[in-house]
Amino acid sequence: MTICPLSIIVVTHNHANYIYTCLRALLPQAKALGAEVIVVDNRSADASAQIAAGFAGVRLLTAPQRQGFAANSNTGMAVAQGRYLLLLNPDTEVLPGALAALVAFMDAHPTVGLCGAQLLYPDGTVQPSARRFPTPLAALVRRTPLRVFLRSSTANRRHLMLDDDLNAARPVDWLLGACMCVRRAALDRVGPLDEGYFLYVEDIDWARRMHQGGWQVYYVPQAQIKHHHLAVSDRRFLSRRTLIHTASMWRYARKFWLRWLPGLGLQGYEATAWHATLLHNTASGDI
């Protein structure tokens, strides 16, 4: 049973330098809507949890153990009571009217299962957050030294929708996980995020399952959110970040591209020794 229009879930892991700004911008809008705010702290070593606890109106949950973004988000969604549930990164600032715009859009479009706001870099420029689904070739090239040639390619521009008109709400393949607003009915039918992903790609997976379940995914630029995202350049071919992303893309490939091949089931995926090492050594602030 839902008792409020919107539940906002923020997952934090050593984000003390962001969470105060995030909640300061978020709470007045949440209060005006009658929305609830849930912060899931992923065993932070800094003051993230204490800062969140200092805000009246925040429900603070602590992860039972160090876990990935999908698992932490699901922890928050499991107790949320809203008609819609908004997953929001801690390094975001909701701009005036953003939450109301998302709720109004979802109310007016009952076939939309998942939507997201327009994300802005701190300087006000638009961050490409509406995407087309990756192709197997592009996913493979992205994790090789050949990726430097992909960045300026027509295929990459198409993937990032850089030449599309994104000034009005429109259907898209998927949205960056920094801001995802899901309809409870869609969540109940499609299911939560796949916890087999520790970090990265869970947003692509969720959107694909939404489409498969008959729900639309929409980009809603009427809602704007500032995203203090700093793109990390992976100059090394086998950095920890690229290995985690590669592991997640491999899971995605086996679920959606390679299901017909024998011997490629998902059983045992999370148990591989090298992947377990990555999970326990992820850089602070990554989830």
Collapse the DSSP code of 113 into the 3-class scheme (helix H, G, I; strand E, B; otherwise coil) and give the result: strand
The CATH number assigned to the domain with range 4-134+162-231 reads 3.90.550.10
Please state the pTM of the whole predicted model.
0.89
Residue linked to tokens 């908004």: 86
* pLDDT for residue 216 is more than 60: yes
The predicted structure's pLDDT at residue 276 = 44
Instruction: Give the mean pLDDT of 14-42.
Output: 98
The predicted structure's pLDDT at residue 59 = 99
Confidence of residue 257 (pLDDT cuts 50, 70, 90): confident
**Higher per-residue pLDDT: 255 or 286:** 255
Q: Where are the beta strands (DSSP E) in the chain?
A: 4-12, 36-41, 58-62, 82-88, 92-94, 112-120, 126-127, 130-131, 170-171, 174-175, 179-183, 216-227
DSSP-derived secondary structure letter, 102: H
Q: Where are the beta strands (DSSP E) in 108-160?
A: 112-120, 126-127, 130-131
In whole numbers, what is the pLDDT of the chain averaged over residues?
87
Confidence of residue 210 (pLDDT cuts 50, 70, 90): very high
Residue 104 to residue 194: CA distance in whole angstroms: 28
Closest CA to 88 of 168, 151, 3, 19: 19
Helix (H), strand (E) at residue 29: helix 16-33
pLDDT digits (tens, 9 = 90+) for 144-193: 666 666 666 787 788 788 888 899 999 999 999 999 999 999 999 999 99
Instruction: Give the mean pLDDT of 232-240.
Output: 56
* pLDDT for residue 272 is more than 60: no
* pLDDT for residue 29 is more than 80: yes
DSSP symbols for 32-72: HHT-EEEEEE---SSSHHHHHHTSTTEEEEE-SSS--HHHH
Domain boundaries, the chain: 4-134+162-231
Instruction: Give the mean pLDDT of 219-224.
Output: 99
10 Å Cβ neighbour count for 115?
27
Residue 76 to residue 189: CA distance in whole angstroms: 18
pLDDT digits (tens, 9 = 90+) for 62-71: 999 999 999 9
Closest CA to 180 of 228, 115, 121: 115
**Higher per-residue pLDDT: 49 or 137:** 49
